[in-house]
Amino acid sequence: MSDVLTRMEGVAGCISLNRPRAIHALTSDMVQAMIATLLEWRDLAEMTVVMIDHAVDPAGAPKLSRGFCSGGDINLLRQSALNDGGVAGRRFFYEEYQLNHLLFTYPERTAGKTVVAFMDGITMGGGVGISQPAALRVATPNTRFAMPESGIGLFPDVGGGWYLSRLKGRLGQYLALTGARLDGAECLWAGLATHYLPVEVLPKAKAAIAAGEAPELVLDALSCAPPPAQLADHAEAIERLFASDHLETIIAALEADESDFARETLATIRSKSPTTCKVALRQLVLGAAMPDFAANMAMEYRIGARVLMLPDFAEGVRAVIVDKDNAPQWSPATPEAVSETTLDAIFAALPAQEEWKPV
């Protein structure tokens, strides 16, 4: 069976990720299939909604409640970095970012088709990239949202420079550096989700939307009150401690703070790649000023093309995913050793023929 299931139901085009053993992590074939489907559906006047979720069985229950989409094909990226000079990895980034941009611009390209993403379960990395472009983003009690890339020597790509830089306070910087996981209630509080629904009403919501009822009104009617967003208790501390765009200054602020939250956050950041933490901070500064989403994705492709081949990526994947010793040896090992010259090279324009372009 295909790793991406597509179908028409009433006025809705439905895209269901169907790779449960990998928590629906995106492969190149899945990305290409989604792009082809979205382009095919673009001019269908009878389709007014696109719904993205993970596969369901005939009874309507999720096959694997653990996740909507756990990310991209990290093994492909690592093997590419080690064996083909990053060629396949860059191609994956290129096409994945085209999918992200296509979803982001889909309503304006299709005279108003509404995109609805159901973030039921783990929504990380590549899963963020296909859910955040949606106008309507549904969280549930199962939702676990994160951009954990700095822990494997990557950066919060797939539009992270755009989305994270636009969150309230300094929440985006906190998420980018720590890879912190947000539950469904916290996603709603942060603005990463537009609605919070009980899992058991998801089939009803999808059926009503497919039947032609206004998607936002359906979700409004079926929403429930979420539990308190625990991260909200730390909002003031996050805004104060992460006020700087310089990693060393953030670390110093955390060191000077005696709260348990600061100590735990500091330990987390110290476990991440210093290079990609610095990359993420600059990425969010630049992303906040980008004129449109395409410009942001062109920036992120430049970063991805370079970071893929840095030693921290292969080492981070080895430590976290392959050997699972969780003891990466970062190079450089400290923030102070990551120079502005290194960052300038990572963010520099590519040769014209290699620059990223939308579909």
What is d(CA 66, CA 52) in angstroms, rounded to the nearest whole number? 16
- Stretch 228-257: mean pLDDT, rounded? 98
pLDDT of residue 185: 98
Amino acid 64: pLDDT: 45
At residue 111 the predicted structure's pLDDT band, cuts being 50, 70 and 90, is confident
Give yes or no for residue 58 having a pLDDT over 50. no
3-state secondary structure of 26: strand
Residue whose pair of structure tokens reads 């269908």 in the numeric block: 44
How many angstroms separate the CA atoms of 187 and 262, rounded?
Answer: 21
- Residue 62: pLDDT above 90? no
Q: Where in the chain are the domains?
A: 4-354
Half-sphere exposure (Cβ direction) of 299: Cα atoms closer than 13 Å = 27
CB contact set of 25 (below 8 Å; sequence gap of 6+): 19, 69, 70, 71, 72, 73, 74, 126
What mean pLDDT is predicted for residues 34-49? 96
Residues with a catalytic annotation lie at 72, 126, 149, 157
Would you say domain 4-354 falls under CATH 3.90.226.10?
yes
Longest Cα–Cα distance of the chain, Å, equals: 59
User: Could you give the angle at the alpha carbon of 136 between the alpha carbons of 103 and 292, nearest 5°?
Assistant: 45
Q: What confidence tier does 208 reach under pLDDT thresholds 50, 70, 90?
A: very high
List, in order, residues 6 or more apart from 92 with CB less than 8 Å away. 28, 31, 72, 73, 76, 77, 80
* pLDDT tops 90 at residue 320: yes
Give the Å distances, CA to CA, from 45 to 6, 7, 12, 177: 17, 16, 11, 43
Q: What is the pTM of this model?
A: 0.96
The helices-and-strands tally (H runs, E runs) of the chain is 16, 10
Digit-coded pLDDT (tens) for 266-296: 999 999 999 999 999 999 999 999 999 999 9
Closest C-alpha to 118, from 93, 98, 136: 136
Query: 53: which strand partners?
Result: 16
Q: Looking at beta carbons, which pairs linking 337-343 to residues 24 or more positions away fall under 8 Å?
A: 337/274, 338/247, 338/274, 338/275, 338/278, 342/275, 343/278, 343/279, 343/282
Q: Look up residue 136 and give its amino acid.
A: L
Q: What is the pLDDT of residues 112-130, one digit of tens each?
A: 899 999 999 999 999 999 9
Of the pLDDT bands very low, low, confident and very high (cuts 50, 70, 90), residue 65 is low
Tell me, what's the pLDDT at 150?
A: 96
Pairwise CA distance, residues 11 & 214, whole Å: 11
Give the lowest-confidence range in 65-69, 72-76, 177-181, 184-188.
65-69
Question: What are 139-194's pLDDT values in tens digits?
Answer: 999 999 999 999 999 999 999 999 999 999 999 999 999 999 999 999 999 999 99
Residue 66 has pLDDT above 90, yes or no: no
Q: What is the pLDDT of residue 110?
A: 87
Please report how the helices 293-307 and 274-288 are oriented relative to each other, as an axis angle in degrees rounded to 10. 160
Q: Are 64 and 54 in contact (CB under 8 A)?
A: yes
| Higher-confidence position of 264 and 55 | 264
Contact 177, 280 (CB under 8 A): yes
- When pLDDT is averaged across residues 75-87 and rounded to a whole number, the result is 94
